[in-house]
Structure 1
Amino acid sequence: MKYAALTGISPSVIAELKTGKARTLELSSAHNIITLTETAPGECLFITSVNEEDLAPGDAGIMVDLLVLNISMKRVEVTSSFAFEERERMSARIKVQFRGTTIARDVEGRKWGDPTKVEIIRAACYRAG
């Protein structure tokens, strides 16, 4: 099964997600927003610190449950003595909760405008006791 992949996420954010608490992230990179347009709350996502261009089979990441998704456009007005400028910035706010660690097996979505998706190797965890 293919999972949407969010790439270039800070290792410190990934470490915080591994504590198990649900966290809200704000993403502004175009490739991650494009990937999120084809997801919905309740789905599982793959998150890695590896950049999109470098993502390859064997790269480690985490699986998270997508609890909330909100993609919005923000307007920023910049004024100076010479001109008035209006800019728009798209961002996505997501609330996610850690599910487990995993490794990417196959990567797709290398063309601009395509969502990044990965097939994963499910990690098995055994406990003695």
Structure 2
Amino acid sequence: MKHAALTGISPAVIAELKNGRARTLELTSAHNIITLTEAAPGECIFVTSVNEEDLSPGDPGIMVDLLALNIGMRRIEVANSFFYEERERMSARIKVQFRGITLTRDVEGRKWGDPTKVEIVRSACYRAG
């Protein structure tokens, strides 16, 4: 079974998620937002600190349960004495909870604009929670 993969996540964030508490993350990288467009709350997602272009079979990561998902546009206004600038930034806010540690078995979605999906190695040991 293929799972959405969030890549390039900070090792500190992954360590925090391993504590077992649900956490809310804000993601701004385009490849992760594209991947989340095909995800829905209740699904299991693979999270790794490995960059998208380097992701390959055997890379470590964690599985998390996607509890909430919100993708939206945020307006940022910058003003100084010479000009007034308005920018928009797309971001995804997700609430996730740790499920277990795993490895990738297969990776797909290498073209720009395709969601990153991985097949994982099923763990023989699960976290009691």
* Shorter-normalised TM range: over 0.9
In the alignment, what sits opposite 2:115? 115
The residue number in structure 1 matching 2:11 is 11
- Compute the displacement of 1:80 (Å): 2.0
Identity of aligned residues (%): 82
Name the SS for the 1:122 alignment partner: coil
Aligned equivalent of 1:35: 35
Query: How does the TM-score come out when normalised to structure 2?
Result: 0.95
The normalised TM-score by structure 1 is 0.95
Q: Which digits, 9 at most, give the CA deviation of each residue in 1:1-58, with x for residues without a partner?
A: 0000000001111111111111110100000000000000000000000000100000
CA RMSD of aligned residues (A): 1.0
Pair 1:69 & 2:69 matched: yes
Give the count of matched residue pairs: 126
Is there any run of 5+ residues in structure 1 with no aligned partner, and where? none
What is the CA-CA distance between 1:61 and the residue it aligns to? 0.4
Alpha-carbon displacement from aligned partner over 1:68-100 (angstroms, at most 9, x marks no partner): 001110001111222211100011110000110
Q: Gapped runs of 5+ residues in structure 2?
A: none
1:48 corresponds in structure 2 to 48
Work out the CA distance in 2 between the residues paired with 1:9 and 1:81: 37
User: Aligned to 2:121, what secondary structure does the other structure show?
Assistant: strand
Give the aligned residue type for 1:111: K
**SS at the partner of 2:95?**
strand
Match of 2:98 in 1: 98
Alpha-carbon distance, 1:123 to partner? 1.3
Aligned equivalents of 1:97, 1:77: Cα separation in 2: 33
Q: Give, in whole Å, the separation in 2 of the partners of 1:16 and 1:80.
A: 38
**What SS does the corresponding residue of 1:35 show, helix, strand or coil?**
helix
